[in-house]
Copies of this chain bind each other. A is one copy, B any other.
Amino acid sequence: MIETPYLLFLGDAPDQLAAKVAQGIKDWRPENAVGQFRMAGCKADVGLSDMTLAEAKSAGAKTLVIGVANRGGVISPAWKEVLIAALEMGFDLASGLHNLLRDEGDLVAASQTHGGTLHDVRVPSVGYPIANGIKRSGKRVLAVGTDCSVGKMYTALALDEAMRKRGLKSTFRATGQTGILITGHGVPLDAVIADFMAGSVEYLTPDNDDDHWDIIEGQGSLFHVSFSGVTMALIHGGQPDALILSHEPSRAHMRGLPGYTLPSLETLRDTALPLARISNPACQVVGIAVNTQHMTEDEALSYLAEVEARMGLPAVDPYRQGADRLVDALAAV
């Protein structure tokens, strides 16, 4: 659990894309951030007030979150001065970088001296159990993709937002480092040891109110040979009551795997649903989320209409259209 609110550290980000973690926090949990901290030469701006460490501290910030990825995921010497000053002022630090805060001797020393916590969200901080498969109360929805990086996290966050706006009970359950930094908690599933993957998902989505939805962030794809085991553990550990099929129609091949074509939405449905019903026999496929970012508005609407007619399920782009129709579909479960 990372203490909020945050000050978002954008460092010397070379461009806006490098600050996508900070942008995600700003977009989805603006209440979690009091401002942004930019160094000289920073080319990113997520639209929050620029603050010094002292100003952020006065505004109540508890944690300085590294909201920027630089080349190689390293913690650059140029950042160190700020990070150490933050620890000296009583901030915690949180990072999703490959290079860990805890491996930097000067940060460890400063955190010990000043009592701050170093959160490396890529590394599990919990000893997860082996999954027991016992049926849990409450409801769960999981997005499964024809490929990796087709918009599953975005879909989950948009669903969560739409449900909250309607006053429905929902919790976004992060399974990757960006999601964990956005919400302050979660399971870094790709870093969990094989035997405990499904158990970590059970741990993440415990018993809940009968009318509460856990919206589980998807990972990988059953059809992506590098990461399909992670997806499988999400399906079986998550016991989803509902699946949403996620797709990005412009891909020529599976991400990073030339020679591997994407499955059709029908094949995804017919593969994922029987597997999901092993852990939850009542599971249903309720809708389709399409990432149409590479289409014009007309192309997108026409594509979505075709998919909806063909599959007999609501098909939306949550970015263009919001997730309301997917919430309607969940409400009908």
* The residue from B134, B225, B232, B271 contacting A229, defined by CB atoms under 8 A apart: B232
A274 contact set on B, CB distance < 8 A = 271
A207 contact set on B, CB distance < 8 A = none
| A132-B257, A260-B133 known; A225+B194 contact, CB < 8 A | no
Q: CA of A256 to CA of B134 in the docked complex: distance in angstroms? A: 11
Interface string of A126-151 (1 = CB under 8 A from B): 00001111110000000000000000
- Segment among A6-14, A79-87, A161-169, A184-192 that sits at the interface with chain B: A184-192
Q: Using a CB–CB distance below 8 Å, which chain A residues touch chain B?
A: 130-135, 189-195, 197-199, 222-223, 225-233, 236-237, 254, 256-257, 259-260, 271, 274-275, 278-279
Shortest 7 CB-CB distances between A and B: which pairs?
A229-B233, A225-B236, A229-B229, A232-B232, A131-B226, A190-B195, A229-B232
A199 contact set on B, CB distance < 8 A = 226
- Is B271 in contact with A275, judged by CB distance below 8 angstroms? yes
Total identical chains:
2
A193 contact set on B, CB distance < 8 A = 190-194
A226 contact set on B, CB distance < 8 A = 130-133, 195, 198-199, 236
| A133-B257, A133-B260 known; A194+B275 contact, CB < 8 A | no
Q: In the assembled complex, how far is the CB of residue A70 from the closest CB belonging to chain B, in whole angstroms? A: 21
Q: In the assembled complex, how far is the CB of residue A280 from the closest CB belonging to chain B, in whole angstroms? A: 10
